[in-house]
C-alpha cells in the first residue's frame, strides 16, 4: 500500500468552505454525516484507507454558498500516529494539508458524550489547530437513559468554542447542526488559543452528573455492556456464538449470492442471444454476447455478495460486536502473524476472494491488511469447485473414495498455503512494524440502518466503478485471444467452434507456453483452457469443452471427462494421464486464475505492482507445486 496520499482533487480545492468531521472511532461520526447530508455523497479516492472519505455539498442557512462536508476516518489522536498508512495517518495528513494550503475550513468534532473524558483528549489537540471548532456531543439519549444529566455550559466555558448536544434519532438534529455550522463558517479564523487549563476528567465530571433520582432501570442500563460481555465473551459460549455467527455469514454470502447470480446469469444469456440475433453470429455478435455482456454479467454477479458482506461488516462494527469477535479469535491467529480482524475476510474468501478483498478494510494495520490481501487468493473459493469436480471425474472416475479424499485435501491445501504464505510475507515482502493490539471495545449500540444502507450503496458503486471496469476490459481482451484468428493461420475449410479456437491467437499463446507447461503434463489445449479460465475459473470447463469439440460441457461434464480420458496423441498414447490430473488440480489450488480477484487487489492496494506480485508468486508456486505433485504421483505409480 502506497503511503503517498494523492487525495481526489474534487474533495478540496474550490470555493466551498470545507467542514471536516473528526472524532474517535465509534463516536457516531457516520450517523452525524448521514443526518447532515441525507442522500448526497461522493466517495473520495484515498489509497490504503479502510474507511471511505465521503463528501457532500450542502447549502447553509442564511448563506448563498455551499459548504463541503467531509467525513474523515476516525482518529484517537492527530498529534501521534504510529504509521502514516493507518486511517489516523491519512486523517492527519489531510488536515495538515488543509492548514498548509490555507483552505477555508472549519472543524467539527463528533464526541460520544458517554465517553466524554476520552473524547476531550482529542478536543485538546484540535484546539491547537488554527481553525474554528465546533464540538458535537452525540449519544445524549444514552447518557440520559443511564440516569445522568448532561450540561454543555461548563464545556463551552472551559473550551471557549461552541458545543451542541444532539440525539441521533431527533428529527430537529439536522437543523440544529446546520445552524451551528453556518455560524462557525461565518466565524473569523481564531488566533492562537491560550493553552488549555482544564483537565479532561474534571471537565467531564462537571458536564455529566448523576440525575437527582436514578431509577433502577437506569442503573441496569449502565451495566448493560458488561452484562452482554459476560455472555458474548464467555470462555465457552463466546467462541461458539462467534463461530456460529461467522458460519451464518459465510452461508449467506455463499447461498444467497448464488441464486441471485444465477438469475443475473440467465438475464445476461438472454441479452447475449438477443445481441447475436441482432448482430449476427459473426465476430461482432460473439464479441458483444460473450466478450462484453459476459464480462458485465461477471461484474453484476459479484454485487449481491459485496452488498451482503458490507451490510454484515457494518452491522457487526456499528453494534460493537466486531471488536469482540476480534478479541475472541486473536489468540488463535497470532502465531501466524495475523490479528483477530483478519478472520472475517479469510473465511469469506472460501466463498469468493472478491468480496473478501473488499472486507479486508476491517483490518486496520496497513501491513497486516496487505498480507491478508496477498494471501487470500490461495483459499479455495466456490469457483474452483466445478473445475475440481471435472478434473476429479476425468482422471479419478470410478474411485469415489479417492475423489472425496482429494477434494478435502484440495480445500485444506488452500488454508495451509495461505497461512504459510502469510507467515513468509510477514518476514519478507510485508515485513515491518506490527502495530500493538490496542482495540477499543465500545459499548454495545443499536446500529443506524441509514448508515448501513449508505455503506452498502457506496461499496456497490465503488466495486462497479473500480473493479467492474477492469473486469470488462480483461473480458474483452480474453475474448479477442480466444476468437480472433492468429495472423497467418491457414484458411479454415470447415469452420467449427473447435477449429476456430484452434486457430485463435490464444491457441498460439497456448502452443508457445508448451515448453513451460510440458513438465507438468499440460499440452496447448489445457493451456488454452487455463487462459480461458482466467476470466473466471468456472470457464475452464466450458473452454476445454469447446476445444475438445463438445458443446455445453458445463451441463454435461461427464462427456468431456470421457473425452479427456480417452484422448490419444498421434502415436496412440493417452494424451492425458492421472498425473496430468494431479498436477492440474494442484496448479488450480495455487494459481490466481481470476481477473476479478486481480482487479479487486488493484482497487484495494491502489497499485498494479501488488497485482503483478500476486500473479508472479501464485503462478510460480503453482508451477513448482504441480511439478512436485506430478513427480510424487509418478513415484506412487500413478500412470
Q: 17-40 b/e with 16+ CB inside 10 Å = b?
A: bbbbbbbbbbbbbbbbbbbbbeee
Stretch that binds another protein, among 2-10, 431-439, 459-467, 516-524 (CB under 8 A): 431-439
Q: Is 233 in the site for another protein (CB under 8 A)?
A: yes
Could you give the CA distance from residue 90 to residue 72 in angstroms, rounded to a whole number? 9
- CA–CA distance, 539 with 421 (Å, rounded to integer): 27
Please choose, from the candidates 69, 75, 83, 88, the residue with its C-alpha nearest in 3D space to the C-alpha of residue 26: 75
Find where cell 449519544 sits: 139
Q: How many CB atoms are closer than 10 A to CB 66?
A: 15
Rounded CA-CA distance 123/130 in Å is: 13
Which residues share a beta bridge with 22? 109
Where b means 16+ CB within 10 Å and e means fewer, 148-161 reads bebebebbeebbeb
Decide: helix, strand or coil at residue 43.
strand
Q: How far is the CB of 76 from another protein (least distance, A)?
A: 5
What is the closest distance, in whole angstroms, from the C-beta atom of residue 320 to another protein in the complex?
10
Radius of gyration of the chain (CA): 29
Is 113 a residue that touches another protein (CB under 8 A)?
no
Which of residues 332 and 567 has its CB atom nearest to another protein in the complex?
A: 332
Rounded alpha-carbon distances, angstroms, from residue 557 to 411, 423, 496, 540, 553: 21, 38, 20, 11, 5
Dihedrals phi, psi of 485, to nearest 5 degrees: -65, 145
Q: Closest by alpha carbon to 325, among 251, 233, 247, 437? A: 233
Give me the least distance between CB of 317 and another protein, in Å please: 15
Contact residue for another protein among 1, 82, 385, 409 (CB under 8 A): 82
Q: Considering only residues 79, 217, 492, 555, which one is a binding residue for another protein as defined by CB under 8 A?
A: 79
What is the smallest separation between the CB atom of 212 and another protein, expressed in angstroms? 21
Q: Which is nearer to another protein, 76 or 619 (CB)?
A: 76
Are 296 and 288 contacting, i.e. CB atoms less than 8 angstroms apart? no
From the list 583, 615, 588, 476, the residue with the least C-alpha distance to 535 is 476
Identity of the residue, 79 or 281, whose beta carbon is nearer to another protein in the bound complex? 79
| Interacting residue with another protein among 141, 187, 229, 265 (CB under 8 A) | 229
Q: Which stretch binds another protein (CB under 8 A): 114-122, 249-257, 299-307, 394-402?
A: 114-122
**Considering the rule CB under 8 A, would residue 330 count as an interface residue with another protein?**
yes
Can you spell out the DSSP letters for 379-406?
Answer: S--TTHHHHHHHHHHHHHTT-HHHHHHH
Point out which span in 229-237, 297-305, 308-316, 350-358 binds another protein (CB under 8 A): 229-237
Q: Which of 39, 99, 121, 153 touches another protein by CB under 8 A?
A: 121
Residue 7 Cβ vs another protein, minimum distance, rounded to whole Å: 24
Least distance to another protein, CB of residue 327, Å: 4
Binding test (CB under 8 A) with another protein, winner from 76, 444, 457, 613: 76
Distances (CA, A) of 580 to 305, 362, 509, 573: 34, 40, 20, 14
Write down the least CB distance from residue 80 to another protein, Å: 4
Q: By three-state DSSP, how is residue 485 classified?
A: strand
Identify which of residues 327 and 479 has a Cβ nearer to another protein in the complex: 327
Query: Do 444 and 224 form a contact (C-beta atoms < 8 A)?
Result: yes
Tell me whether residue 268 or residue 333 sits nearer to another protein (CB atom).
Answer: 333
Question: Near another protein by CB under 8 A, which window of 7-15, 79-87, 158-166, 606-614?
Answer: 79-87
Footprint on residues 438-467 left by another protein (CB under 8 A): 438-442
For position 362 contacting another protein by CB under 8 A, the verdict is no
Residue for cell digits 484507507?
49
35 vs 129 by CB, closer to another protein: 129
| Residue 334 binds another protein (CB under 8 A) | yes
Among 326, 362, 363, 589, binds another protein (CB under 8 A): 326
List the one residue from 8, 47, 65, 77 that touches another protein (CB under 8 A): 77
Q: Summarize as ranges the residues that interact with another protein (CB under 8 A).
A: 76-77, 79-82, 114-115, 117-118, 121-122, 125, 201, 225-226, 229, 233, 235, 238-239, 323, 326-332, 334, 340, 436-442
Amino acid at each position: 500500500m502506497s503511503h503517498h496520499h494523492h487525495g481526489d482533487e474534487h474533495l478540496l480545492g474550490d470555493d466551498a468552505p470545507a467542514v471536516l468531521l473528526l472524532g474517535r472511532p465509534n463516536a457516531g461520526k457516520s450517523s452525524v454525516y448521514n443526518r447532515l447530508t441525507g442522500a448526497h455523497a461522493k466517495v473520495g479516492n484515498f489509497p490504503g484507507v479502510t474507511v471511505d472519505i465521503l463528501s457532500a455539498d450542502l447549502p447553509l442557512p442564511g448563506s448563498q454558498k455551499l459548504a463541503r462536508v467531509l467525513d474523515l476516518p476516525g482518529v484517537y489522536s492527530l498529534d501521534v500516529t504510529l504509521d502514516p498508512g493507518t486511517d489516523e495517518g491519512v486523517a492527519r495528513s489531510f488536515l495538515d494539508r488543509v492548514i498548509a494550503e490555507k483552505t477555508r475550513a472549519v472543524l467539527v468534532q463528533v464526541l460520544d458524550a458517554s465517553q466524554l473524558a476520552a473524547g476531550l483528549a482529542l478536543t485538546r489537540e484540535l484546539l491547537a489547530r488554527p481553525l474554528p471548532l465546533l464540538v458535537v456531543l452525540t449519544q445524549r439519549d444514552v447518557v440520559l437513559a443511564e440516569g445522568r444529566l448532561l450540561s454543555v455550559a461548563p464545556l463551552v466555558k472551559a473550551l471557549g468554542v461552541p458545543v451542541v448536544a444532539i440525539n441521533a434519532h431527533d428529527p430537529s438534529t439536522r437543523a440544529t447542526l446546520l445552524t451551528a455550522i453556518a455560524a462557525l463558517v461565518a466565524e473569523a479564523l481564531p488566533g492562537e488559543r491560550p493553552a488549555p487549563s482544564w483537565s479532561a476528567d474534571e471537565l467531564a465530571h462537571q458536564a455529566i452528573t448523576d440525575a437527582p433520582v436514578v431509577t433502577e432501570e437506569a442503573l441496569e442500563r449502565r451495566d448493560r455492556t458488561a452484562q452482554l460481555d459476560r455472555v458474548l465473551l464467555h470462555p465457552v459460549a463466546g467462541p461458539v456464538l462467534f463461530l456460529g455467527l461467522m458460519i451464518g455469514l459465510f452461508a449467506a454470502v455463499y447461498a444467497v449470492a448464488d441464486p441471485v447470480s444465477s438469475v443475473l446469469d440467465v438475464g445476461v444469456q438472454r441479452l447475449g442471444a438477443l445481441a447475436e440475433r441482432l448482430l449476427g453470429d459473426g465476430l461482432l455478435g460473439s464479441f458483444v454476447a460473450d466478450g462484453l455482456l459476459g464480462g458485465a454479467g461477471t461484474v453484476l454477479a459479484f454485487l449481491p455478495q459485496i452488498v451482503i458482506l458490507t451490510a454484515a461488516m457494518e452491522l457487526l462494527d456499528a453494534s460493537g460486536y466486531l471488536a469482540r469477535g476480534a478479541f475472541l479469535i486473536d489468540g488463535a491467529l497470532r502465531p501466524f502473524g495475523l490479528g483477530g480482524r483478519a478472520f472475517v475476510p479469510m473465511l469469506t474468501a472460501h466463498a469468493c476472494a472478491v468480496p473478501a478483498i473488499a472486507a479486508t478494510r476491517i483490518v486496520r494495520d496497513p501491513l497486516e491488511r496487505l498480507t491478508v490481501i496477498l494471501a487470500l487468493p490461495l483459499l479455495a473459493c466456490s469457483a474452483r469447485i466445478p473445475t475440481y469436480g471435472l478434473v476429479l471425474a476425468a482422471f479419478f472416475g470410478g474411485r469415489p473414495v479417492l475423489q472425496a479424499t482429494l477434494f478435502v485435501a484440495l480445500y485444506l491445501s488452500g488454508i495451509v498455503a495461505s497461512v504459510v504464505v502469510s507467515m513468509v510475507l510477514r518476514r519478507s515482502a510485508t515485513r515491518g512494524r506490527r502495530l500493538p493490539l490496542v482495540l477499543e471495545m465500545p459499548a454495545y449500540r443499536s446500529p443506524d440502518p441509514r448508515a448501513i444502507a449508505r455503506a452498502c450503496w457506496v461499496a456497490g458503486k465503488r466495486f462497479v466503478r473500480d473493479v467492474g471496469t477492469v473486469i470488462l476490459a480483461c473480458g474483452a481482451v480474453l475474448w479477442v485471444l480466444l476468437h480472433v484468428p492468429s495472423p497467418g493461420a491457414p484458411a479454415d475449410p470447415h469452420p467449427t467452434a473447435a477449429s476456430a479456437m484452434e486457430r485463435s491467437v490464444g491457441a498460439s499463446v497456448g502452443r508457445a507456453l508448451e515448453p513451460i507447461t510440458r513438465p507438468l503434463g499440460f499440452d496447448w489445449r489445457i493451456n488454452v483452457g487455463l487462459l480461458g479460465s482466467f476470466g473466471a475459473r468456472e470457464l475452464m470447463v466450458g473452454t476445454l469443452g469447446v476445444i475438445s469439440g463438445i458443446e455445453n460441457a458445463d451441463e454435461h461434464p461427464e462427456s468431456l471427462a470421457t473425452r479427456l480420458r480417452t484422448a490419444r496423441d498421434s502415436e496412440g498414447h493417452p494424451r492425458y494421464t492421472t498425473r496430468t490430473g494431479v498436477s492440474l488440480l494442484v496448479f488450480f489450488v495455487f494459481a490466481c486464475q481470476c481477473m476479478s480477484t486481480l482487479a479487486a487487489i488493484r482497487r484495494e492496494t491502489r497499485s498494479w505492482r501488488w497485482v503483478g506480485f500476486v500473479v508472479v508468486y501464485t503462478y510460480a508456486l503453482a508451477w513448482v507445486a504441480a511439478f512436485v505433485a506430478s513427480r510424487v504421483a509418478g513415484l506412487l505409480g500413478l500412470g
